[in-house]
Amino acid sequence: MTNLHSPMQPSKLQNYNSTRGAEAYKADYRNKLHRKWSDQRERALLRAYFAELGSVDTILDLPCGHGRLSDLLKERCRHLIEADWSFTMVQLNQRDHGTDGRGYFRATALEIPLADRSVDVVVSFRLSHHLESQELRERHLRELFRVARKAVIVTWFSATSLKNLLRELRVKLVGKKPKNVLRNARVRALAEQCGFTQRLAKPLFRIGSGHVLGLFVRSAP
C-alpha cells in the first residue's frame, strides 16, 4: 500500500478513526497490564530524554492519539501541538485536555503541514511499525527531521530485536506475515542525512517488545 494518506490497512484506519476504536484504545492503557507496563517504560524514557534536552518552547506530538502522553509533554514546553490522522482521536484528546497552551489539528505524519524547523521537538510514538512499506517508514522519519528545529524523539520496530528475529523464523516456518521494521543503522544514516545525530536509542523492553525509542539532536552547523 503506497497511498500517502492511507499508509495502513484500511480496516485499521477505519477502526482508529471510529469513536468505538478510539475509546477502546484509550481503555487499553487503563485496563491491560502489558499496556500499563509499556506506558510506564515510555514515560521513564521520555523523562530521561527530556532531561538531556531541557525545557523547550514547542513540541509536536504526532500521532497524539487520545493524549496519553499529553500532560507529560506539556510539562516540558510552553506550547504543545497535538496532531493525528484520526479526527476522533484529536477530538477525544481536546475534550480531555482542553486548549490551554495546546493546539490541535488533523494531519498525516507523512506530509506534515508545517514549515521546515517550525517546532523545537517532534515526538512520534508507535506509528512506524504500522506503515506498510520501507519507503513510507523512511518518509515518516524524513518528515519528522524536516519540521524539527532541535530534536526528534521517535519509536521504530527494530529489525535486529529478539522479537523480530523470532518473527522471521515463524515467517520461514509457518508463513507468518513479516513485521514492518527498520534497521537501526538505517535510522541513524537517515538522521545524519537530515542533519541530526543520535543521542540515545534504547529498547522499550529487550524481551517482549521490538520497539526502540530514539533521541536525535540537530547537529551544530
List, in sequence order, every residue forming a beta bridge with 148; answer none if it has no partner.
119
One-letter amino acid at 38 equals S
**pLDDT, tens digit (0-9, with 9 covering 90-100), for 38-95:** 899 999 999 999 999 988 999 999 999 999 999 999 999 999 999 999 999 999 999 9
In this prediction, residue 93 carries a pLDDT of 95
DSSP state letters, 168-179 = HHHHHHH-PPPP
Q: Measure the CA–CA gap between 175 and 211, rounded to whole angstroms.
A: 22
**pLDDT, tens digit (0-9, with 9 covering 90-100), for 145-191:** 999 999 999 999 999 999 999 999 999 999 999 999 999 999 999 99
Mean pLDDT taken over the chain: 91
Q: Which three cell numbers stand for residue 203?
A: 529498547
Of 219, 218, 63, 201, residue with least CA distance to 147: 218
Put residue 101 in one of left, alpha, beta given phi > 0 → left and psi -120 to 50 → alpha.
left
Q: Which three cell numbers stand for residue 18?
A: 471510529
Range in 28-32, 54-58, 137-141, 172-176 the model is least confident about: 28-32
- Looking at the predicted structure, is the pLDDT value of residue 12 above 50? yes
Range in 8-12, 126-130, 170-174 the model is least confident about: 8-12
Instruction: Report pTM.
Output: 0.90
Delineate the domains of the chain, giving CATH numbers in brackets. Answer: 10-218 (3.40.50.150)
Residue 173: other Cβ atoms inside 10 A: 8
- Alpha helix locations (H) across 60-183? 70-74, 87-97, 134-147, 162-174
